[in-house]
Chains A and B, each alone.
Chain A
């Protein structure tokens, strides 16, 4: 319904924008496949082995293990905590809710800078810096606000009559949660899991502050260390960068819809 001239303009502009977005990514991808360590792109011989070499030289096996332990624990425990808190706020009600709920919501607006310095010294005195325990605890605490808010909204959308019916059948609050409320709220839980994965996997700052021991650092810090050490070997660094972003890219393709919805509603988390 637009004129021919407008259409040509539209496609031209969109093409320019798309190329500008893709260019840096494609370039790094081509670098990663090239044999030259100075970054000269040469696709006559694709060096898939760069990925293996980068993996070994960057010591990614250890970093990946740490990332999986941290991200896995945070996603699982954080989701459970979010479900319990959301159920409390959304269905059961809480003593002192008028004070507690705004206090929890405040966490959505606080930047990490508000508490990172004392948090580090606190953790130092509990002897949990440089441990999985410490970084997992920090992620969990920071995730409570969004998780509680998110699951509260999801549970409030469940018709109260469903819970009521189960209650009359003699189900207690615990089995009502798992048998009635949770199945209905499953899409919200999936979005929360994806977001939690994304945030924890992508984190750099929190881990930089709390974990200085390479044996417990996540893969984002591993990439940082590698880029400091091997500035010259551009093809390997590019390969390493692609490996680090791969899990998130794969997930975003598999769960495209939930992912975009999640990023939109979750972007507000500081």
Chain B
């Protein structure tokens, strides 16, 4: 993901050009002899570029190469052609993983965006006291280690955990169960935990862009007699296109890559009812090695992630220009 996405929308709202972020054009180091010494620069860049090559670039290439082989990680690899790719959707674990990903996009992306928008709007009303405190509370899950979030939600969903207590209190005790051990309910239960963890970030991103929306726009629609709902759709939402695309891209990538929360709570189970692509990748690469297949999953996930970002960026640009 390109971080300029983040800064550009805010500036666009403020009516300025997206200056300098990727910045091919604006040269702050004006003119002659402004200290540009590219050979020396290469020397300064050397440690970074070597680290990057060893850890990222070379392995990315090796991953593509590996995906054309059958390899158990120990004995000699044999050429597999495209079979690691062609078997993709007929493989039951992978097909389940892809379906779960689509399902998780609702919980990790769409719901957090909706909840984030709602909280952003509510805490931005003039005359709402303690908006800062509400925002700090809602943002709180962002500063908690993912491994800890997994422990927290495992506790909440236990058979005698607080979630079931709550159901019993409101008279729905018949529904109580070990949510994460349930073939049908483990998936939405994890999804809800994801919504909880993600929407604070969405809110803060929206808030920081909403502060750039001129107050006169709101006053104008209020004079026209618009209520809060129409105000939201005619003023707020159209001005949030930039941050919306950023948040959409971010949270979708998060849903596609989901691992920590699942691995630490259900390990993809019961059965394969909560399995995700990264869980399959991990198991194939390390637990019961079919390394070529694992590498192919990595390649496909990379392409899908890049496409998601590209499409969203294009959509956002196409509409705002």
* Chain A positions within 8 Å of B201 at CB level: 263-264, 267
Q: Is the interface of A mostly helix, strand, loop or mixed?
A: helix
Q: Is the interface of B mostly helix, strand, loop or mixed?
A: helix
* Chain A positions within 8 Å of B37 at CB level: 92-93, 173
Q: A136-161 interface mask toward B, CB cutoff 8 Å, 1 = contact, 0 = none?
A: 01101110111111100100111110
Q: A65-83 interface mask toward B, CB cutoff 8 Å, 1 = contact, 0 = none?
A: 0000000000000000110
* B23 beta carbon closer than 8 Å to chain A: yes
Interface size class of B (residues with CB under 8 A): 35 or more
* B240 beta carbon closer than 8 Å to chain A: no
B45–A94 contact, CB under 8 A? yes
B3–A108 contact, CB under 8 A? yes
* B79 beta carbon closer than 8 Å to chain A: no
* Chain A positions within 8 Å of B82 at CB level: none
Q: Which of B7, B128, B148, B301 has the most CB of A within 10 A?
A: B148
Q: Given A2-B126, A82-B48, decide whether A91 and B29 contact each other with a Cβ distance below 8 A.
A: yes
Q: Which single residue of chain A is at the shortest CB-CB distance from B39?
A: A95
A265–B155 contact, CB under 8 A? no
Q: Which single residue of chain B is at the shortest CB-CB distance from A28?
A: B152
* B90 beta carbon closer than 8 Å to chain A: no
Q: Whole-angstrom distance from the CB of A225 to the nearest CB of chain B? A: 11
Q: Which single residue of chain A is at the shortest CB-CB distance from B151?
A: A241
> CB within 8 A of B41: which of A24, A89, A116?
A89
A145 to B37, CA, bound (A): 21
A147 to B47, CA, bound (A): 12
> CB within 8 A of B66: which of A117, A153, A248?
A117
* A49 beta carbon closer than 8 Å to chain B: no
* B170 beta carbon closer than 8 Å to chain A: no
* B83 beta carbon closer than 8 Å to chain A: no
* B175 beta carbon closer than 8 Å to chain A: no
A14–B38 contact, CB under 8 A? no
Interface size class of A (residues with CB under 8 A): 35 or more
> CB within 8 A of B45: which of A10, A38, A85, A117?
A85
A103 to B23, CA, bound (A): 16
Q: Given A92-B38, A94-B41, A111-B253, decide whether A227 and B30 contact each other with a Cβ distance below 8 A.
A: no
A206 to B214, CA, bound (A): 44
B59–A108 contact, CB under 8 A? no
* Chain A positions within 8 Å of B63 at CB level: 114-115, 117-118
A245–B21 contact, CB under 8 A? no
Known: A21-B141, A24-B156, A119-B59. 15 other contacts (CB 8 A): A2-B126, A7-B128, A23-B162, A24-B162, A39-B158, A88-B48, A93-B41, A111-B257, A117-B66, A150-B3, A156-B28, A156-B29, A209-B282, A245-B144, A263-B201
Residues of A within 8 A of B (CB): 1-2, 6-7, 10-11, 13-14, 17-18, 20-25, 27-28, 31, 38-39, 81-82, 84-85, 87-89, 91-97, 100, 103-105, 107-122, 137-138, 140-142, 144-150, 153, 156-160, 163-164, 167, 173, 176, 198, 201-202, 204-205, 208-209, 220-221, 223-224, 227, 234, 237-238, 240-242, 244-245, 248-249, 252, 259-260, 263-270
Can you list 27 residue pairs at the A/B interface with Cβ under 8 Å? Answer: A1-B222, A21-B137, A27-B162, A28-B155, A91-B29, A92-B40, A95-B39, A109-B309, A112-B257, A115-B62, A116-B298, A120-B286, A122-B62, A137-B54, A145-B52, A163-B35, A173-B40, A204-B259, A205-B278, A227-B154, A237-B155, A241-B152, A245-B148, A263-B201, A267-B6, A268-B3, A270-B257
